[in-house]
Every structure is written in structure tokens, then in C-alpha cells.
């Protein structure tokens, strides 16, 4: 079973009939940094942070619009 878990298997898709598929369990406290020890999550988060810093410093209007739109999604049910 360990051979089909991260970091050995990425983007897991089951090519089996629906009744044989493994149920995916969502965990509210899941920490992807612990699941992917090869640092891929940290690299993605660093890239997102760099993009955010660029937007906040050089694209202030776009950053503001992105922030407002994101908040609206979580605040309004009609978004």
C-alpha cells in the first residue's frame, strides 16, 4: 500500500468501477507538509507567497480586487 501513497504516487486517479473506488476522507486538520516529505508543498507555498508579495507591492489594485473577491466568496452565499 505504501507504494501508492505520497511521495511515490501523485494525482491519484482510480481506474476501477465506482463501487470498487476507495472513499476519500476529508480531514479538517490535515497537514499537507507532513504528507509530502519531499518538500513539494513548501515549494508551492513559497511560490504563492512570492506571487502575493509581487501583487501587493507592484499590482496593488489587482491585489485589492483579488482580496475583495475572495472575501466575498466566503462571506456571501450568492457569490
The three three-digit cell numbers of residue 8, written as one number: 511515490
Task: Write down the pLDDT at residue 47.
Answer: 93
pLDDT tier for residue 46 given thresholds of 50, 70 and 90: very high
Are 2 and 8 spatial neighbours (Cβ–Cβ below 8 Å)?
yes
Task: Write down the pLDDT at residue 35.
Answer: 76
Tell me what the mean pLDDT of segment 44-62 comes to.
89
pTM of the model: 0.45
Measured CA to CA, the distance from residue 52 to residue 12 in angstroms comes to 29
Query: Residue 68 above 80 pLDDT?
Result: yes
Tell me what the mean pLDDT of segment 5-34 comes to.
71
Are 66 and 55 spatial neighbours (Cβ–Cβ below 8 Å)?
yes
Amino acid at each position: 500500500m505504501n507504494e501508492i501513497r505520497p511521495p511515490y504516487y501523485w494525482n491519484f486517479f482510480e481506474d476501477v468501477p465506482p463501487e470498487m473506488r476507495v472513499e476519500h476522507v476529508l480531514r479538517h486538520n490535515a497537514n499537507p507538509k507532513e504528507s509530502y516529505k519531499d518538500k513539494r508543498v513548501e515549494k508551492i507555498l513559497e511560490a504563492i507567497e512570492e506571487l502575493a508579495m509581487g501583487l501587493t507591492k507592484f499590482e496593488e489594485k489587482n491585489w485589492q480586487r483579488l482580496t475583495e473577491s475572495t472575501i466575498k466568496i466566503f462571506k456571501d452565499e450568492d457569490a
